[in-house]
Amino acid sequence: MAVICGIGVDSTEIARVARKCREGSDAACLAEAGAAYPSRFQEKMFTQHEVQRSLSNQHAPYAHLAACFAAREAFFKATQVWYRRRKVSIRQYPSGEPYFLLHPLIVEGLAQRYAQVWGQAPADPRLINLRVSLTHDDTYCTAFAVLELLRELPLDYAGYPGWAIDKA
């Protein structure tokens, strides 16, 4: 048995993220900055991995950051677990599927949500299933997140839980 405990969606304008990234920065563009965090906004909102990955997209570096921003907002809406934004990062499996990389404090918050629903802490972290889907066009990035809490793992369960613990 499983219960969908939360659904979150967020749409973020790419140009707005680009403007915020440029504010307070000496660099005219993210790709020209060279520093890990060219602006205060980037330092506050994104992990170093997210900023570095955006640099690899020469045609639309801010689209990746806008997608990370939207995914994080969708995560908070779906889970109702609130912490500093950089404690939730967006990564990709080798297949290209996005997933959340979570600080241990965030995982504790998810375990508390699980206990609220099922009356006890999860026996296996894979019982907390978190999915994210990202899409974008030239103007907006949209993210959709779903929090599903499983009572038990299906016998044929072979999937990813949609998240991993940040061990850094």
Q: Is the pLDDT of residue 32 over 50?
A: no
Domain region containing 16: 2-152+161-165
Helix, strand, coil content of the chain in percent (nearest 5)? 40, 25, 35
**CATH number of the structural domain spanning residue 104:** 3.90.470.20
pLDDT at 33: 44
Model confidence pLDDT, tens digit, residues 86-122? 899 999 888 888 999 999 999 999 999 899 989 998 8
Q: Is the separation of the CB atoms in 106 and 166 below 8 Å?
A: no
- Report the domain count for the chain: 1
Phi and psi (nearest 5°) for 16?
-65, -45
